[in-house]
A and B are shown apart, each in its own frame.
Chain A
Amino acid sequence: MIRVGALLLLAIALAACDDMTTQPKKNAYADASVGPGKVPAGTVAFQERPVAPPPVSLALIERGQERFRIYCTPCHSELGDGNGMVVQRGFPAPPSYHIDRLRQAPPGHFYDVITNGHGAMYSFAQRVAPADRWAIIAYIRALQRSQDASAADLTPAEKAALQ
């Protein structure tokens, strides 16, 4: 009787033995055949809901600078002259930001280009969230200013600081 009981206990104990490395769990990338989801018609993707342009602040411009350097510099270059590394390797050159047409273009134009692409430029809607698009636009404005300022734009205090 004791022997049977011991065998039974052993069987139960051994039944718990399992390879703990195989525990099924939801892992988005476990199955490589599952690609990024498609957005059903009539809906908007996560983070795709448009947001109103936030007020311009230093933090916004700095966020824009960081995002610009990630997503835009490969073609537009750090200076915004459209001669980035990928353009140097044969990608069609985008226009420089420092032309009159783009200096006068409304912010919505840049937002539209980031969202929907333009010419050879693909849409960056999947990569740049709406709030970050406005941040990038704020930084583009700062870039444009950086190449288009004269001494007359400085306040007397700023001039004194430079001299």
Chain B
Amino acid sequence: MAAIFRPSANLAAKFFLLGMGGLLAGGVFWWWVYPRTDYARGVGWVIDQPVPFSHEHHVAGLGIDCRFCHTSVEVSANAGMPPTYTCMTCHSQIWTNAALLAPVRDSLAHDAPIAWKVVNDLPNYVYFNHSIHIAKGVGCESCHGSVDRMALTFKAASLTMQFCLNCHRNPGPNLRPRAAIYDTEWRRGPDTPSPDALMKQYGIVNRDLTDCSICHR
């Protein structure tokens, strides 16, 4: 009886199996591993902005509070980007001829907003609200990183659903006393109230924080 497969079929079968394995590994990498990397999420990458604004200088150097510019963070879903008027509060008098600030002066002169690029962007199906996080003791730094050390602003956390859920499943360890919410240097110390005590203080009932409709509605 003649053989059904020729000897070269052995080689073809090996290549086929290797190819299938390769495709599987490649697929897992492309659709599952790669989108979860910091590289794909843009963590730590500075985005070109119209003006090279330095949070390091304004926050660490001058001691200006976050809310001086991001005025609506306590009362609104959006933290609020400052209008040019806010920049000009000081820069109408200081660095009035700096070339770096030309776009700010143009913006004021032509009544056209500065087109800042979004650094921390969330998908449209996520309804994130700044004010509730501030009201319940989550510090800016927990998501935005040490903004006071950013000479140019970049995204500090992956902001994946996993990242959100890590905290929503067990918020206690990420809460801080009210006085430390805007403090980027704050760390949990021996005299910090325990996570459970903070949960109680802020009235967080850890029951529905992982409901789908908390973030997707």
Contacts and interface: CB of A to CB of B under 8 A. Distances in A.
Contacts of B195: none
Nearest to A90: B94
Interface string B95-120: 00000000000000000111111100
B124 A92 contact: no
Please classify the interface of chain B as helix (H, G, I), strand (E, B), loop, or mixed, using the class held by over half of its residues: loop
B93 A33 contact: no
Interface residues of A, number: 29
A32 interface: yes
Contacts of A92: 93
Interface in A129-158: none
Contacts of B83: 35-36, 126
Given A23-B124, A29-B78, A91-B93, A122 B85 contact: yes
B81 interface: yes
A91 B90 contact: yes
A21 B94 contact: no
B113 A32 contact: yes
B89 interface: yes
A74 B125 contact: no
A35 B113 contact: yes
Nearest to A24: B124
B36 interface: no
Interface of B: 62-65, 67-68, 71, 78, 81, 83, 85-86, 88-90, 92-94, 112-118, 123-125
22 contacts: A23-B123, A23-B124, A29-B81, A32-B113, A32-B116, A32-B118, A33-B115, A34-B113, A35-B112, A70-B67, A71-B67, A73-B63, A74-B62, A74-B68, A74-B90, A85-B62, A91-B90, A91-B93, A91-B94, A122-B88, A122-B89, A126-B86
Q: Which 9 A-B pairs have the closest CB atoms?
A: A35-B113, A32-B115, A70-B65, A23-B124, A122-B89, A36-B83, A21-B123, A25-B124, A70-B67
